[in-house]
Amino acid sequence: MLLVDKIIEITDKYVVGVKNVTFNEGYFMGHFPGNPVMPGVLQIEALAQAGGIFVLNQVDDPENYDTYFLKIDKVKFKKKVLPGDTLILKMELMHPIRRGICEMKATAYVGNTLVTEGELTAQVVKRSVAK
């Protein structure tokens, strides 16, 4: 399930992506009937996907690497994300990438309102050659 619609900015320090939260998202049928709210776990997944794009953008041959998330800390859901919202996803490097480990500050906004924040740690791993 792809949860990043587009990347609008990427540098060597951060990435900014967009998720348009539409009324026809499948998860709204059960979360919650008559009161649709984007699940927090999917907000974190959208941030993680943006972070994965950021990490792979840092290597010369990204098609030969995968990104795995190792840790998710200090997550706070501050406001509901509703159908029709545009979720702005920002993943910012907290420290230089060392030994394939990347620590990022995650923030998600609807307009100028912070809706979700946390810290995510990922590892970039070179794919094994299939035999």
Report if residue 92 sits inside a domain. Answer: yes
Report if residue 43 sits inside a domain. Answer: yes
46-92 confidence digits (pLDDT tens): 999 999 999 999 999 999 999 999 999 999 999 999 999 999 999 99
Q: Is 95 a catalytic residue?
A: no
Average pLDDT, rounded, for the chain: 96
Catalytic residue among 31, 39, 40, 119: 31
Report if residue 112 sits inside a domain. Answer: yes
Based on the number of CB atoms within 10 Å of its own CB, is 20 exposed (0-12), middle (13-18) or buried (19 or more)? exposed
Overall number of domains in the chain: 1
Report if residue 131 sits inside a domain. Answer: no
Report if residue 22 sits inside a domain. Answer: yes
Based on the number of CB atoms within 10 Å of its own CB, is 51 exposed (0-12), middle (13-18) or buried (19 or more)? buried
Which residues is 127 bridged to in the sheet?
none
| pLDDT at residue 100 greater than cutoff 80 | yes
Report if residue 86 sits inside a domain. Answer: yes
Greater confidence (33 vs 47) lies with 47
Res. 131 pLDDT band, cuts 50 70 90: low
CATH number of the structural domain spanning residue 95: 3.10.129.10
Domain of residue 108: give its range.
Answer: 6-126
Would the pTM count as exceeding 0.75? yes
Residue 100 backbone dihedrals phi, psi, to 5 degrees: 80, 5
118-127 confidence digits (pLDDT tens): 999 999 999 9
